A and B are shown apart, each in its own frame.
Chain A
Amino acid sequence: MAGPIIRASGLSKTYRISEKQPGLAGTIQHLLRRRHRDVLAVDGISFTIEPGEIVGFLGPNGAGKTTTLKMLTGLIHPSGGELEVAGHQPFRRQARFLRQITLVMGNRQQLIWDLPALDSLRVNAAVYGIAEAEAQRRIGQLAEMLELGQELRRPMRKLSLGQRMKAELLAALLHEPAVLFLDEPTLGLDVNAQARVRDFLADYNRRTGATVLLTSHYMGDITALCPRVLLIHQGQLFHDGSLADLTQRLAPCRQVRLELADLHPPEAFAGFGQLEAHQGHLVRLLVPRAQLAQQVAALLERFAVVDLEVSDPPVEELIGGLFRQRDSNSEASQ
């Protein structure tokens, strides 16, 4: 297929929600005269995604990420705008479209809780029209990639959270979808299990060329997998580009960590940048990017430096700070 595999233009979604005041009076009023309010969950976002890309979808809770994913998969109808995924309008939910996509939600499961995963996989193979021998081959291959073996023969309820998520991934990928929508796929997993899921997704993308759109609250998922991120806030697209570009845009300064041989008072660092932390021999400074080389040279000349590290501030702190600032500005303007 030539051109983008996902194309969203002016995509929006408005939910109509009823509001109720607490207490008996509120309940009676709610019963007799219900009040509704329109909530704009997604506000005219536009983006395209090329086949084979892995794109991270970032934003705070309630930013509109999951609503956008639901529209992209066809679970809900957009209120406005145009949307095309794998050559189809998702909300039509045609079988040809559904065979090309998958949605994995970290907090939801499709596999039958009281049966071994293999029973559900057999159903999925039949539903997607995968020949039995081919289904066996794919299950074997995916199970090997996901390091699953006898776990597939045990009832799902007997598996650990990490094993269940891997089984869910296997089920979601059995029909070899061209587009993967992953909503918090590492939610609740321990650090090792998160790393294994990430490795699997990167490997799967390399092997199959599948397109991946991933939301996660774990920046580790995003930094490990996504060369490109879409940052959404209050339903609007704030950034579409690389994580490095986003960091540069959000943080005009770089972080300089120093371990010094001697103790110095905080005043000693005036003029070298903004002092962020000062604890014994350890010092952390924020230095404008344009002055970085000059200031680092000056620091090395002025102090006896044991160790020095230059890095970007943690991206989640930058994004969190940005949204807190925007939210307070928005409240102030109201």
Chain B
Amino acid sequence: MSWAWRVARALLGSQYALMLEYRAEIALWALSGVLPLIMLGVWSGSGAAAAAGLSPQQLSQYFLAAFVVRQFTVVWLIQVFEDDALQGRLSPFLLQPLSPLWRYLAAHFSEQASRIPFVAVMLLVVGLAAPGLLWLPSAGALLLGILAIVAAFLLRFLLQVLVTTLCFWSERAAALDRLLMIPYLFLSGIVAPLETFPPAVRRLALATPFPWMVDFPARLLAGEPVNVALGFGAIAAWCLLLLPIGHWLWRAGLRRYSAMGA
């Protein structure tokens, strides 16, 4: 068994056990991610979607898929990292021969795994309340959708790593992340499918990483026609761009680290 595999197993195992300790909190987090369902209600009552060429069925499938995507791409790295850095909990992790970022990544995967039952129950409730809303994606769409969700999560995680490294320069870098939430909410497709955007805004949105984080995987899950290669290619390109920047910022940040609180 390779070192990396053993570390991954141990980290995921311990973090999953930890997340199960916080199951009530995670249930509340899952409940708080219902924005796409609210937006479904808002859009269903207006004729704007029909004007953009979306049928009621397409609209509801899109927002339900966006709800699932949103549940499994939530990233809270900066909040926990900032707290760890300020409280001195980061220092012991920095003294181990493993980047602390792997611990945080494992914590995110474990938190997502512990969300599965809550998301399933919420979908079941939606299905019981409005039986026509749920659909069963094809095996191919499901597989590609899951892959796209994982890729979208990694892109979102990487983007937040960049902002997180600013914690080495500022004690309140999380405020910057809150600023990033604005383009994320509007350009990712959470509040509206990209198809409903004016063409110029849509082109602008597609040039940012945000639509690939929600719109692309949601449309794959909803079974809409999507350029799969373009979607995965865009995510890979953004990751390849962000990786070296994040690596450089992390190393520069460590030079500035003053191990406050420890």
CB < 8 Å: which of B95, B255, B262 contacts A98? Answer: B95
Check B21 against A103 for contact (C-beta < 8 Å).
no
B94 CB contacts on chain A under 8 angstroms: 75, 93
Interface SS, B side: helix
Question: What is the bound-complex CA distance between A76 and B255, given in angstroms?
Answer: 7
The contact sample of 7 A-B pairs, CB cut-off 8 A, is A74-B95, A76-B257, A103-B95, A110-B89, A126-B10, A127-B7, A127-B98
B residues 1-21 near A (Cβ < 8 Å) are: 3, 6-7, 9-11, 13-14, 17-18, 21
B10 to chain A, nearest CB (A): 4
The B21-55 residues at the A interface (CB cut-off 8 A) are 21-22
Contacts A75-B259, A114-B18, A120-B14; is A126 near B97 (CB within 8 Å)?
no
Given A98-B96, A127-B7, are A115 and B91 neighbors across the interface (CB < 8 Å)? no
Which A106-130 residues sit within 8 Å CB-CB of chain B? 107-110, 112, 114-115, 119-120, 122-129
B13 touches A122 (CB 8 A): yes
The residue on A at minimum CB distance from B254 is A93
Given A98-B95, A125-B10, 20 more A-B residue pairs with CB atoms under 8 Å apart are A15-B258, A73-B95, A75-B94, A75-B95, A75-B259, A76-B259, A103-B92, A105-B88, A105-B92, A105-B262, A108-B92, A109-B92, A110-B93, A115-B18, A122-B13, A122-B14, A124-B96, A126-B3, A126-B10, A127-B96
Q: Which residue in chain A gives the minimum CB-CB distance to B256?
A: A77
B108 to chain A, nearest CB (A): 16
Give the shortest distance, in Å, between B12 (CB) and chain A (any CB): 10
Q: Does A32 contact B (CB under 8 A)?
A: no
Measured in the bound complex, the distance between the Cα atoms of B6 and A212 in whole Å is: 31
| Contact surface of B with A, Cβ cutoff 8 Å | 3, 6-7, 9-11, 13-14, 17-18, 21-22, 88-89, 91-98, 254-255, 257-259, 262
State whether the Cβ of A7 lies closer than 8 Å to any Cβ in chain B: no
* Other-chain contact of B255, A77, A115, A119 (Cβ < 8 Å): A77
A residues in contact with B259, CB < 8 Å: 70, 75-76
Give the complex CA separation of A70 and B91 in angstroms: 9
Cβ–Cβ contact B257 & A75, under 8 A:
yes
Complex Cα distance, B17 from A115, in Å, reads 8
Does A101 interact with chain B (Cβ within 8 Å)? yes
A99 contacts partner chain B, Cβ-Cβ < 8 Å: yes
